[in-house]
Structure 1
Amino acid sequence: MDLKQLRYFVAVAEELHFGRAAARLFISQPALSFDIKKLEEQLGIQLLQRNNKSVKLTPAGRVLLDEARSLLLQAEQARRLTLRSAQGALGRLRVGFVSSMLYQGLPAAVARYEALYPGMEVVLREINSAEQAQALQRGQIDIGFVHRGTTLAGVASLLLLTDPFVCCLPPGHPLLAETTIDLAQLRDEPFILFPRSASPHYHDLIIARCVAAGFSPQIRHEARLWQTIITMVMHGMGVALLPQSLSGAWRGELHCVAIAQVGPPSELHAIIAEDNPPEAARHFLAVLRDDLALAGHGHADLLIKP
Structure 2
Amino acid sequence: MDLKQLRYFVAVAEELHFGRAAARLFISQPALSFDIKKLESQLDVQLLTRNNKSVSLTNAGQVLLDEARYLLLRAEQARRLTLRSAQGFVGRLSIGFVNSILHRGLPQAVRTFEQDHPDTEIVLMEMNSAEQAQALQRGQIDIGFVHWSHFPESIRGEPVLAEPFLCCLPQGHRLAGESRIDLAQLANDDFILFPRNVSPHYHDLIIARCVAAGFSPRIRHETRLWQTVVAMVAYEMGVALVPQTLAGTWKEGVHYCEISGDGALSEVHAIRHADKPSAAAESFLTVLKALQKPVAPGL
The bucket for the TM-score relative to the shorter chain is over 0.9
Deviations 1:67-111 (A, max 9, x none): 211111111111111111111112100001000011011000001
Offset at residue 151 of structure 1 (A): 3.5
Whole-Å separation in 2 of the counterparts to 1:28 and 1:210: 57
Whole-Å separation in 2 of the counterparts to 1:73 and 1:11: 14
Whole-Å separation in 2 of the counterparts to 1:59 and 1:168: 40
Deviations 1:1-35 (A, max 9, x none): 11111111111111111111100000111111111
Whole-Å separation in 2 of the counterparts to 1:253 and 1:289: 32
- Structure 2 portions without partners, runs of 5+: none
Residue of structure 2 in register with 1:175 after alignment:
175
Residue of structure 2 in register with 1:121 after alignment:
121
Q: Which secondary structure does the structure 2 equivalent of 1:4 belong to?
A: helix
> How many residues get paired?
295
Whole-Å separation in 2 of the counterparts to 1:131 and 1:55: 29
Amino acid at match of 1:27: I
Amino acid at match of 2:184: A
- After the TM superposition, which parts of structure 1 deviate over 4 Å for at least 4 consecutive aligned residues? none
8 A Cα contact 2:179 2:256, kept in partner = no
Matches within 5 A, 1:126-275: 126-251=126-251, 253-275=253-275
Amino acid at match of 1:152: P
Percent identity over the alignment is: 67
Whole-Å separation in 1 of the counterparts to 2:75 and 2:276: 27
TM-score w.r.t. length of structure 1: 0.93
Amino acid at match of 1:255: H
Q: Which secondary structure does the structure 2 equivalent of 1:45 belong to?
A: coil
Whole-Å separation in 1 of the counterparts to 2:265 and 2:113: 28
Q: Which secondary structure does the structure 2 equivalent of 1:89 belong to?
A: coil
Range 162-171 or range 47-56, more displaced: 47-56
8 A Cα contact 2:133 2:151, kept in partner = no
State the superposition RMSD in angstroms: 1.2
TM-score w.r.t. length of structure 2: 0.95
Whole-Å separation in 1 of the counterparts to 2:151 and 2:42: 43
Deviations 1:220-262 (A, max 9, x none): 0001110110000000000000110122101455310000121
Whole-Å separation in 2 of the counterparts to 1:13 and 1:274: 38
Deviations 1:263-306 (A, max 9, x none): 111111111122231110011001001111xx336xxxxxxxxx
Whole-Å separation in 2 of the counterparts to 1:127 and 1:57: 23
